């Protein structure tokens, strides 16, 4: 397939096969269009265009990041290998031209020329309505806001048409950083209110299908499971106007086809390929391949501790000893990950996250624990997200084989990517693998999401421990007050307890791998691990 045909194709790729198209007539105008169009291929796509939507999946985050603005964003710094990397502690305005942090509030002055995609001005009422929406819709968005102690609509105050104040409920070092993540996006409130209803007061159904923001891009076409087309917003004031005019994001289920499209020059970027392919492409040097460790993240095996058999600590310990850690590193990750297992028995706990636990593969210990806890064996299901099957499927096959050796028969459950978040948050899966990466790069933030008994949607093990909660809450208080000694004690405390109770078993810290044509530059690593089109340059 020639590049011009790939651009012309409206239906893209069906059933994993490359589609053919009629030849296009070359013209300078079409050549210019190609130079300004970025073609991305990935395994899965968004199931919702609204970050506040119910069950919005990780690919949906990418659309929201590029099509909506927040009040603030992060400055960049040099990361691993010199790759631009967000600076967790430094901020810049996006919709805000000025930020003034007081003792118990922060005030933002909006850019006067900011407009939504339909031309309506962005005002303080839009900011307040959007933040009210975030803390009110429930689920992930509301819990994310709560992670920064943003929970009440009364906290968001309109000072005048272009000024908003956010009042603090308490001193929390996570509050300002939490305003720079994807959830506190600013929506066109009048547009959504026109398309709301008594049953849907926040316009969730409307925003699920089309964007209503002021961001650098706007969605002009979305065919779920097939394609997303985004066009540049030339009136964007959140930063320099992007160089790329159009983004075409195609869902190509077969990894071999995605790699072929890259190697032929028919696609510009792909970031969901087997690690073996990334290693081979690095060695061949025909494409630019970037590999960056996830910030504050890991792939893990989770167990629901509220139901048999994983309510039994000895069963969880048996699983931890039975996992084929090094096989997974070698055969699935091809070393494109940092191991989070096998720490020396005498190694003290560090005040960092993630860090390796002290389990390693030891089938004798695993079998001995199973003989005590479940001598008759166990049958269960092992679930994974098909959106990331290139890693999850071979990983689960290796885990299934190892668990069978200690008397655990695990049937693999492949959950369609569009349904994963919904099924995952029901907290009914007994055994599963997933990646979790905390958007704010602080240990207490990760543990607030993943281990706190407040029962975050990402505490899918349904783990509850008053002692764990005290450590997490104590670390947040100590961080806000600047008590480093108390902070260190609490962080070490919650890490030690997580490894002792082992409701989830860290496997490795994955790398974000992105393959790009040589004429594509400007890639930046962000906490959400998705592409930021605004910085990309082609040609």
Please report where in the chains the tokens 């636990």 appear, as a residue: 357
Task: Say if residue 213 is in the same domain as residue 255.
Answer: yes
User: Quick one: pLDDT at residue 522?
Assistant: 97
The answer on pLDDT for 510 being more than 70 is yes
d(C-alpha 158, C-alpha 169), whole Å:
17
Q: Pairing mode, if any, of strands 297-303 and 96-101?
A: unpaired
The CATH number of whichever domain residue 256 belongs to comes to: 3.40.190.10
Task: Say if residue 107 is in the same domain as residue 143.
Answer: yes
DSSP-based three-state secondary structure for 538: strand
Domain that residue 16 falls in = 3-65+193-293+512-538
d(C-alpha 71, C-alpha 166), whole Å:
11
Q: What is the pLDDT of residues 298-336, one digit of tens each?
A: 999 999 999 999 999 999 999 999 999 999 999 999 999
Q: What is the pLDDT of residues 424-471, one digit of tens each?
A: 989 999 999 999 999 999 999 999 999 999 867 899 999 999 999 999
The answer on pLDDT for 25 being more than 50 is no
User: Pick the residue with more confidence: 24 or 375?
Assistant: 375
The answer on pLDDT for 20 being more than 50 is no
Task: Say if residue 407 is in the same domain as residue 325.
Answer: yes
Task: Say if residue 278 is in the same domain as residue 354.
Answer: no
Q: What is the pLDDT of residues 196-212, one digit of tens each?
A: 999 999 999 999 999 99
d(C-alpha 95, C-alpha 215), whole Å:
9
User: Quick one: pLDDT at residue 272?
Assistant: 82
In this structure, how many other beta carbons lie within 10 angstroms of the beta carbon of residue 334?
Answer: 15
The answer on pLDDT for 30 being more than 90 is no
Could you tell me the pTM of the whole model?
0.88
Q: What is the pLDDT of residues 329-339, one digit of tens each?
A: 999 999 999 99
Task: Say if residue 465 is in the same domain as residue 524.
Answer: no
User: Quick one: pLDDT at residue 191?
Assistant: 98
The answer on pLDDT for 399 being more than 60 is yes
Residue 248 lies in a domain: yes
Domains in the chain, number:
3
Residue 77 lies in a domain: no
The CATH number of whichever domain residue 133 belongs to comes to: 3.90.76.10
pLDDT-based confidence at residue 33 (cuts at 50, 70, 90): low
Tokens of residue 322, six digits:
């039975």
Of the residues 164, 190, 216, which one is the last residue of a structural domain?
190
Give the total residue count for the chain: 539
Residue 74 lies in a domain: no
Of the residues 190, 211, 242, which one is the last residue of a structural domain?
190
Task: Say if residue 204 is in the same domain as residue 184.
Answer: no
Task: Say if residue 120 is in the same domain as residue 228.
Answer: no
Average pLDDT, integer, range 68-83: 96
Task: Say if residue 180 is in the same domain as residue 227.
Answer: no
The H or E element that residue 278 is part of is: helix 275-284
Average pLDDT, integer, range 248-266: 96
Short-list 197, 229, 237, 196, CA closest to 213: 237
Tokens of residue 247, six digits:
């983004």
Contact yes or no for 69/61 (Cβ under 8 A): no
């Amino acid at each position: 397939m020639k590049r011009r045909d790939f651009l012309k194709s409206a239906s893209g790729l069906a059933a994993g096969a490359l589609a053919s198209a009629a030849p296009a007539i070359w013209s300078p105008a079409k050549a210019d269009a190609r130079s300004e169009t970025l073609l991305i291929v990935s395994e899965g796509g968004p199931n919702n265009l609204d970050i506040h939507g119910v069950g919005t999946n990780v690919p949906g985050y990418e659309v929201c990041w590029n099509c909506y603005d927040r009040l603030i964003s992060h400055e960049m710094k040099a990361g691993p290998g010199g790759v631009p990397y967000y600076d967790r502690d430094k901020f810049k305005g996006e919709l805000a031209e000025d930020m003034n942090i007081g003792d118990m509030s922060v005030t933002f002055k909006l850019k006067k020329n900011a407009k939504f995609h339909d031309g309506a001005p962005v005002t303080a009422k839009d900011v307040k309505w959007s933040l009210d929406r975030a803390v009110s819709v429930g689920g992930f968005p509301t819990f994310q806001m709560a992670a920064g102690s943003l929970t009440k609509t009364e906290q968001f105050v309109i000072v005048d048409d272009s000024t908003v104040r956010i009042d603090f409920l308490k001193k929390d070092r996570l509050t300002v950083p939490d305003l720079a993540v994807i959830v506190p996006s600013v929506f066109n409130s009048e547009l959504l209110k026109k398309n709301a209803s008594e049953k849907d007061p926040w316009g969730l159904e409307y925003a699920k299908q089309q964007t209503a923001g002021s961001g650098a891009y706007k969605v002009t076409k979305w065919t779920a499971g097939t394609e997303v087309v985004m066009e540049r917003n030339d009136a964007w004031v959140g930063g320099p106007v992007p160089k790329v005019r159009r983004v075409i994001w195609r869902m190509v289920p077969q990894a071999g086809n995605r790699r072929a499209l890259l190697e032929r020059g028919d696609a510009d970027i792909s970031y969901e390929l087997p690690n073996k392919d990334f290693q081979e492409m690095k060695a061949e040097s025909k494409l630019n391949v970037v590999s960056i460790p996830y910030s504050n993240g890991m792939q893990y095996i989770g167990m629901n501790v509220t139901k048999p058999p994983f309510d039994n600590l000895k069963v969880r310990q048996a699983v931890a000893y039975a996992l084929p850690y090094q096989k997974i590193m070698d055969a699935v990750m091809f070393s494109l990950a940092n191991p989070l297992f096998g720490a020396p028995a005498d190694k003290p706990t560090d005040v960092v996250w993630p860090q390796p636990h002290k389990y390693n593969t030891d089938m004798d210990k695993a079998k001995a624990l199973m003989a005590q806890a479940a001598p008759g064996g166990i049958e269960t299901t092992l679930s994974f997200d098909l959106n990331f099957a290139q890693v999850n499927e071979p990983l689960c096959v290796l885990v299934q084989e190892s668990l069978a050796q200690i008397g655990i028969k695990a049937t693999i459950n492949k959950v369609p990517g569009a349904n994963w978040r919904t099924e995952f948050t029901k907290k009914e899966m007994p055994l599963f693998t997933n990646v979790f990466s905390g958007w704010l790069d602080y240990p207490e933030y990760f543990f607030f999401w993943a281990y706190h008994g407040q029962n975050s949607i990402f505490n899918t093990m349904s783990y509850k421990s008053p002692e764990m909660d005290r450590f997490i809450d104590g670390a947040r208080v100590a961080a806000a007050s600047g008590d480093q000694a108390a902070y260190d004690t609490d962080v070490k405390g919650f890490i030690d307890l997580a490894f002792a109770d082992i409701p989830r078993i860290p496997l490795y810290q994955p790398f974000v791998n992105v393959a790009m044509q040589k004429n594509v530059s400007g890639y930046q690593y962000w906490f959400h691990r998705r592409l930021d089109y605004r910085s990309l340059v082609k040609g």
